[in-house]
Amino acid sequence: MTLQTSRAIRIDQHGGPEQLKLVETSVGDPGAGEVRIRHHAVGLNFIDVYQRSGLYPMPMPLQLGMEAAGVIEAVGAGVTHLQPGDRAAYASQPPGSYCDVRVMPAICVCKLPDAISLETGAAMMLKGLTAQYLLKRTQPQGGLQAGDFVLFHAAAGGVGLIACQWAKAMGLQLIGTAGSDAKCTLALANGAAHAINYSTEDFLARVKSITAGRGVKVVYDSVGKDTWDKSLDCLQPFGLMASFGNASGPVAPFAPGILGAKGSLYVTRQTLFTHMATRESTQAMADDLFAVVASGQVKIHIEQRFRLEDVQQAHRDLEARKTTGCTVLTL
């Protein structure tokens, strides 16, 4: 067995950014179904905050991180879609991408097309595959057609800026919300048909006005607690509330009867890893993402870079709503 040392970011208990510690780990050879990948860059995601804080309780100690790109160093038995030397990127369970090199399950690791850089791959996999399954696989009854209105909260964030561009490519009219005028300008520049500063404007009133009182077919809501109630009121009858995050805190329990009263609404709480349960579904989603990025229809905006050892500041900025687009940790 070859043992290599790697820098890694670990927490020993849930808590604030101060819990993130730089440690040295030993990395061995991949077992069956695994690869060893040497990272070029690591993606930062809001789920890392939930796993650090304990909103999503995790076993300790925990090496954080769900997204990265790099070069495959070794493959274990049974891995046929990757070989040593391949450039690859992933969004994946279990956490552990905050490091130089790791051994991990191969199922979610995808070979990166030549047209996409390693840094872009590190920034886009978790966020881009999320935008993919939301817009393509999380649709209302009857689907989405060109011209339809959808509401997308936190539209200037990592997932948000990708969704703005992809929705435009699909012909959808995405109404984006964001927490400042500058973020609204960014969402509009990336394909949002309308943008609402929900820190200063009543987004429900604006959605009603933009849609001539009809409402939207889908609300994609990753903000959670702060936007839930009004988001339900933004929907057309039979509309779909697609909840996929809790940046402001988890949604409170609610009585299903409210969905009838508001127009026979549908509610779903989605998570990426259900969609990525098989190698085939992961690759199909990744191929769709690679195509839309390689064609230039979706640009991956890396707006912040932090060194791995500065990860505490990266978490602080993400939680303080100071970031836009994607953030990567450099190695």
Ligand X SMILES: NC(=O)c1ccc[n+]([C@@H]2O[C@H](COP(=O)([O-])OP(=O)(O)OC[C@H]3O[C@@H](n4cnc5c(N)ncnc54)[C@H](OP(=O)(O)O)[C@@H]3O)[C@@H](O)[C@H]2O)c1
Q: Which of 11, 62, 101, 159 binds ligand X (CB under 6 A)?
A: 159
Please give the residue whose beta carbon sits closest to ligand X in the complex.
157
Q: Which of 14, 309, 319, 330 binds ligand X (CB under 6 A)?
A: 319
Q: Which of residues 45-104 bind ligand X (CB under 6 A)?
A: 45-47
The site that binds ligand X (CB under 6 A) totals a number of residues, namely 29
Residues 192, 185: Cα–Cα separation, whole Å: 9
The packing angle between helices 279-294 and 118-137, to 10°, is 110
Q: Which of 154, 167, 293, 314 binds ligand X (CB under 6 A)?
A: 154
Strands (E), 48-106: 62-63, 67-75, 87-91, 101-105
Nearer to ligand X, 19 or 304 (CB): 304
Is 289 near ligand X (CB under 6 A)?
no
Is 183 near ligand X (CB under 6 A)?
yes
Q: Which of residues 126-145 bind ligand X (CB under 6 A)?
A: 126-127, 130
What is the closest distance, in whole angstroms, from the C-beta atom of residue 280 to ligand X in the complex? Answer: 19
DSSP conformation class of 316 = H
Q: Which of 33, 76, 113, 179 binds ligand X (CB under 6 A)?
A: 179
Bridge partner list, 61: none
Is 321 near ligand X (CB under 6 A)?
yes
Q: Which of residues 212-231 bind ligand X (CB under 6 A)?
A: 222-223, 226
Q: Where are the alpha helices (DSSP H) in 152-255?
A: 158-169, 181-189, 203-210, 228-233
Q: Which of 236, 248, 281, 312 binds ligand X (CB under 6 A)?
A: 248
- For residue 84, say if its preceding peptide bond is cis, omega within 30 degrees of 0: no
Bridge partner list, 228: none
Residue numbers of the site for ligand X (CB under 6 A)? 45-47, 126-127, 130, 154, 156-160, 178-179, 183, 222-223, 226, 244-245, 247-248, 270-272, 318-319, 321, 323
